Amino acid sequence: MADFSRVNARSIAAASAMAIVLGTATARAESSSGAERHALRNTSVGFLALETLGAAVVFAGYSIAAGEPKTTCSWCSPPGFDTSIRDGLVSSHPKTPATVSHVLALGAIPLGSAVALVGSAAAQERTSAGWQDLWITANAFILTTGITDGTKKLVSRQRPAFYYGRQGDTEASTVPVEENLSFFSGDTAWAFSVASSATTLAYLRGYAAAPWILAGGGTLAVAAGVLRISADMHWATDVLAGAVIGTTIGAGLPLLLHSRKPTELAPAVSVVPMIGPQIRGISVSSMF
């Protein structure tokens, strides 16, 4: 009986030690997998630089192909939808909403997005991911700018202030070349491009701040668009088109080129000692 007890004790001790070793290895594998489960594709410096170059080429090529802004409008008369929205929102002092719209589109939204992305990455000790996110967002901004510039010149839509003969009250009072560059709204496209890019990247990375980035960026982007109508620089359809195009580019770029990398599930290891006069078996199962 004494020999049986000693053998049984040794069996339990050996099985316990094996369980500890395998359990530790599994925990490390799961920790490593967790750290990488939100890694994105194509985030090397070389790829991001090529992406920037590609966006710049599209910008320059489309802008050059579109030529110079036209002195006569190709799209002059607005539909009733546009005039009714304009009449309800236009400001008696349009330069003020124009300035605020620029501050939102080119200041508050990009700055807020940058702080949210870098801060979220730093909180998870993934600072490099934050800088990658900023680079991707900047590329979306460049591409949006190029598409906007070329389309404005090709469509040649007259701005509402010029249509109503009150351009002297607006920010375009000393820039007559702006007369036929209404479609679509650049500030709105910029605002939605940056906000949607930051939001998409935040969700791809699994940041806890993602819903806040969506809510904050979306609200400010909508405000920027409405202010462009109040500034008498854009029709409602200009703003709606800018929102759609900006969102498409801002969300589409990370989704198409920087989706999550596939990750293998960590092995699930279970150790079942069969207690008896000796170790009768250890069961190890793995699922991938």
**Terminal-to-terminal C-alpha distance of the chain:** 44
Length of the chain equals 288
What pLDDT, on the 0 to 100 scale, is given for residue 262?
Answer: 85
User: pLDDT of 205-247, one tens digit each?
Assistant: 999 999 999 999 999 999 999 999 999 999 999 999 999 999 9
User: pLDDT of 132-152, one tens digit each?
Assistant: 999 999 999 999 999 999 999
CA 103 to chain centre: 20
Tokens of 121: 């990455």
Residue 234 domain-assigned (yes or no): yes
Residue 4 domain-assigned (yes or no): no
Residue 29 domain-assigned (yes or no): no
Question: Cα–Cα distance between 90 and 226 in angstroms, integer?
Answer: 9
For 61-90, give one letter per residue: b (16+ CB within 10 A) or e: ebbeebeeebeebeeeebeeebbebbeebb
Question: Cα–Cα distance between 244 and 192 in angstroms, integer?
Answer: 8
Taken in order 196, 248, 60, 190, is the CA torsion positive or negative? Answer: negative
What pLDDT, on the 0 to 100 scale, is given for residue 200?
Answer: 98
Of all residues in the chain, the percent with pLDDT exceeding 70 is 78
Point out the residues of the chain with pLDDT beneath 50: 1-2, 4-5, 7, 12-35, 270-288
Radius of gyration of the chain (CA): 29
Q: What is the pTM of this model?
A: 0.81
CA 43 to chain centre: 14
Average confidence score pLDDT of the chain? 86
What domain range includes position 175? 38-257
CA-nearest of 249, 273, 191, 278 to 58 is 249
Residue 272 domain-assigned (yes or no): no
Domain count, the chain: 1
Residue 266 domain-assigned (yes or no): no
CA-nearest of 178, 192, 152, 190 to 232 is 178
Residue 146 domain-assigned (yes or no): yes
What pLDDT, on the 0 to 100 scale, is given for residue 30?
Answer: 44
Residue 1 domain-assigned (yes or no): no
Q: Count of CB atoms within 10 A of residue 268's CB?
A: 13
Residue 201 domain-assigned (yes or no): yes
